[in-house]
Amino acid sequence: MDIRIEYFIIPVAILVATFVLGAIVNRILIRVIKRATADMKNDPTSYKFMRHVIRATIYVVGFGLAIYSVPSLKAFAGSVLAGAGILAVAVGFASQQALSNLISGVFIIVFKPFRINDRLTLRTFNGFVEDITLRHTVIRDFESKRIIIPNSLISEEILINSDFANEKICKWIDVTISYESDLDLAKSIIADEIIKHPLHVDPRTPEQLELGIPEAIVRVLQLQDSGVLLRGWSWASNAAESFVLGCDLLESIKKRFDREGITIPYPQRTLHFKNEDKILESDNSN
């Protein structure tokens, strides 16, 4: 009876120790990652992925030791090893998707098509990469909802990475003015508001500075039915600041236009009724 209790206590103790060790190591790794990436110069992608790998290794080894510590399971393990070829084939078919996600996750870390904190657009989803695990990638959208995508699926999709290679984002500022408004004044107002905004960054290279290229370019984009469409090119450090920059500029440009007498038109239509002349003649005869 004592032997049976001992056989029961040892694997349970190993499992408990495994969970405790996993939790402690996970907490230590989280602190190490925060310190290593505190200045935002180090990419946290590889650090977080390695944290998942270490945790998975601890649990796999712990569960393996717990199973091996039970004598009755040793014989079972020996018979399983005797038919390891058949077992490998069966496990291979059963875990194809899991292995595919794992390998895809490794490829994502190695080749880095996206990293932690990158802004991705995938089909109808848009958000920031929050984590890359052994199985899936977590994307946090702008409503703070988490989108869980298997690594094998996201590695096969066509992605739009707004922060790939160069984090600077070009934000178009499109404004329509009436044909009666002063075109040159409107262009100068848009350029001035872009340059004055604190989130705008100068995108010019040293060569472009020497050539005297303006910091903010504004061009006539289209002659529309109701007005002239102007576009200003503004630049921000990242996608989040680009959104704020665009909203602020539309507001400040509208207020400047109101003060300077620049009109933003709205669609107007003149309606002609087919039987209008006959109706008028009928009214005059009466």
Strand 119-122, strand 160-161: pairing: antiparallel
The three-point CA angle 100-103-105 to 5° equals 105
CA 197 centroid distance within chain: 25
Please write down the HEC assignment for all residues of 103-127: HHHHHHHHHCCCCCCCEEEECCEEE
pLDDT band at 2; cut points 50, 70, 90: very low
pLDDT at 278: 55
Q: Which residues pair with 126 in a beta bridge?
A: 121
Strand 125-132, strand 136-141: pairing: antiparallel
Model confidence at 174: pLDDT above 90: yes
The three-point CA angle 186-219-208 to 5° equals 115
Model confidence at 226: pLDDT above 60: yes
Condensed to tens digits (0 to 9), the pLDDT of residues 245-269 reads 999 999 999 999 999 999 998 876 6
The mean per-residue pLDDT over the stretch 192-202 comes to 93
Pick from 128-132, 158-162, 221-225: least confident: 158-162
Record the pTM: 0.54
Amino acid at 55: R
Q: How far apart are CA 260 and CA 254, in angstroms?
A: 10
Fold of the domain spanning 169-260: Alpha-Beta Plaits (3.30.70)
Strand 146-150, strand 228-236: pairing: unpaired
118 or 182: which leads in pLDDT: 182
Model confidence at 124: pLDDT above 60: yes
Q: How far apart are CA 177 and CA 183, in angstroms?
A: 8
Instruction: Output the six-digit token pair for 124.
Output: 């109808």
DSSP secondary structure code for residue 206 in this structure:
H
Q: Under CATH, which number does the domain 113-163 receive?
A: 2.30.30.60
3-state secondary structure of 51: helix
The beta strand positions in the chain, using DSSP E, are 119-122, 125-132, 136-141, 146-150, 160-161, 169-177, 218-223, 228-236
Instruction: Output the six-digit token pair for 113.
Output: 């098509």
To 10 degrees, the CA torsion angle through 12, 61, 33, 164? -130
pLDDT at 191: 94
Condensed to tens digits (0 to 9), the pLDDT of residues 158-167 reads 888 877 766 6
pLDDT at 254: 95
80 or 113: which leads in pLDDT: 113
The average confidence (pLDDT) of the chain is: 79
Instruction: Output the six-digit token pair for 14.
Output: 């190993």
Condensed to tens digits (0 to 9), the pLDDT of residues 73-110 reads 655 555 555 555 555 555 555 567 777 888 888 888 87
Contact 190/231 with Cβ under 8 angstroms?
no
The mean per-residue pLDDT over the stretch 7-27 comes to 79
